[in-house]
A and B are shown apart, each in its own frame.
Chain A
Amino acid sequence: MTPRGDLGDTPEAGEINRRGTYLAVVLLEVVVVAALWAFGRYFGSL
């Protein structure tokens, strides 16, 4: 019942805040999905 050992839940000194990177990933995904959708629509029609 008792957990043992280091569970890694304490941040180490100097860890970088990556909020900007995560936002960039989300934005890129939105752009890629929109581009793929538009690509299919454009070439699927005359």
Chain B
Amino acid sequence: MSALDWAIIAGYLVWIVYDGLKRTKASDQVEGYFLANRSLPWWAAGLSVMATQMSAITLVGTTGQAYADGMRFVQFYLGLPIAMIILSVTIVPFFYRAHVYTAYEYLERRFDAKTRALASLLFLASRSLSTGVIISAPAVILSIVLGWNLYLTVLAIGVPTALYTMFGGVQAVAWTDVKQMVVVIAGVLAAVVALIIGLPHDVSLGEAMHLAGAVGRLRTIDFTFTLHEQYTFWSGMIAGLFLMLSYFGCDQSQVQRYLTAKSVDEARSSLMISAYVKIPLQALILIMGVLVFVFYLFNQPPMLFNPVFKTKVEASARSAEYAGLERDFSAAFTDRRQAAMAFAEAQRGDDRARAEHARRAFVASEARVKDTRTKAIALVKDVSGDAKYNDVNYVFPTFVTTRLPIGLVGLIIAAIFAAAMSASAGEMNALATATVIDVYRRHIRKTASDAHYLFVSKLATGFWGLVACAVAIYAASLGSLIEVVNRFGSFFYGSLLGVFVLAIGTKRATSRGAFWGLLAGMAAVALVATFTTVAFLWHNVVGAVVVVVVGMLLSLTESEPVRDS
């Protein structure tokens, strides 16, 4: 990387930390520290919601997914706009008017202390691990692609984030989120423009899209109904709706973002930003991945995108086999490039038979490239013993660092940092809120001065920042931990949604029904995850439905709950 790129990254880090720390004065009371005194405009709260949701893996991982597999991932978000409408009508006004700090505090008002404690502890366990993963995943990728020390990369993301979150509280989180979203969107737009400019002179954007479309990269909406496929129209619309309802409605890291808004209406408007923008923005990120694929049709890509594993294979006893595959890959790439040029040229004429012939030749040449890469990946798995080797997360950073001009590299690396920092700051802030409000102030020290709780809140934020960095370093050495964390999250999400449906959707549900319903929901998801091949998005539906059914059945065996007037 050039000195200019380094300067851009350093400038970004200094600017964000300075901007976060200058919010310290506005966070001199607990309500200011955790809820910004309910003073934020809807657009700032809304951008903070988006920034917390969009981690670096969303930016880097889904771009790689589009490169390798196409744009199907966009269907994951199809339930989001409808979820935002449902939440604006239901959960948002209830939480806002109830003047709670945490979503789980609401559960004690409606049910009892043990339901609140269980939900809050599940949140703390799940989110403390996932915050580490949010930092770890981009840190590993950047350290490998840029040759940086892993510990330094983790600390470069985790320490500044913990610092401004600890001192500036939710104000710092929200206002830095706004700026970080601007950096991310600027980075994405700049990369898309650079990719379009980088097309060969005699290939138009339309022809490039036809090339991507011919090999399935633009297959976006799949109306097949199956419980075993992750990304279809129906899994996005139905199962994705349950996930989005749970994440944006019951996860403290999101609830806290819109509780900072000035009024119920502004809180609702903040969610509407995601409802309008999320799918088009995700589609743009995926198109960026497709354009990277088109770029590598005309410029030779590496056969393997993870250089660490490439070096391992080259140093192994099977290096000759690998060298042979490299030669096959180069030859297959040359054929594909010629076939791509021929297909692009054939599109310009009126001869449809010729165009169809050229398209088939191009599709066959792409299959040969893919086949050679598949053999190389199988070789890596054999040599390294890592059966889950997958390098799609390395595609975009490799492209950025090896193909983009000076200055743009720094901007996009800063955008990856911004995505990781904004997502982890929201999590650290929410973890500290649940720790202080649901645990410390509720169970350990029930009465103390505001200054005391503020001091403990800062300590809690610093503590979770340290935990996140420690988990990130540990997770980097244990790839499987990421899967464990994601799986644990899916046990929890749908079930928690079920509890809030019982709390807000029915007056008949009792605390006993809610508590045992929550445990039954998580057990049901564990069984489905262990003994079936149902895609994980559908686990959210299973969890929510089991909690509501078990919770209501148990509640009906008791006398009706009495409400305070």
Contacts and interface: CB of A to CB of B under 8 A. Distances in A.
* B95, B210, B356: residue with the most chain A Cβ atoms closer than 10 Å: B210
Given A2-B563, A32-B279, 4 more contacts: A3-B110, A8-B94, A21-B272, A26-B81
Contacts of A10: 97
A29 B71 CA distance: 17
A21 B214 CA distance: 38
Interface of A: 1-12, 15-16, 18, 21-22, 25-26, 28-29, 32-33, 36-37, 39-40, 42-46
Q: Which of A10, A16, A46 has the most CB of B within 10 A?
A: A46
Nearest to B113: A4
Most chain A beta-carbon neighbours within 10 Å: one of B81, B352, B559: B81
Interface string B235-276: 000000000000000000000000000011100100010011
A46 B352 contact: yes
Interface in B77-101: 78, 81-82, 84-85, 88-89, 93-99
Contacts of B220: 36-37, 39-40
Interface residues of B, number: 56
A15 B93 contact: yes
A15 B267 CA distance: 11
B27 to A, nearest CB: 25
B221 interface: yes
Contact of A5 (B109, B272, B558, B562): B109
A41 B96 CA distance: 44
A25 B85 contact: yes
12 contacts: A2-B563, A3-B564, A5-B564, A6-B98, A7-B94, A10-B97, A12-B97, A15-B264, A18-B265, A26-B82, A32-B279, A32-B283
A33 B81 CA distance: 12
B219 A44 contact: yes
Contacts of A32: 279-280, 283
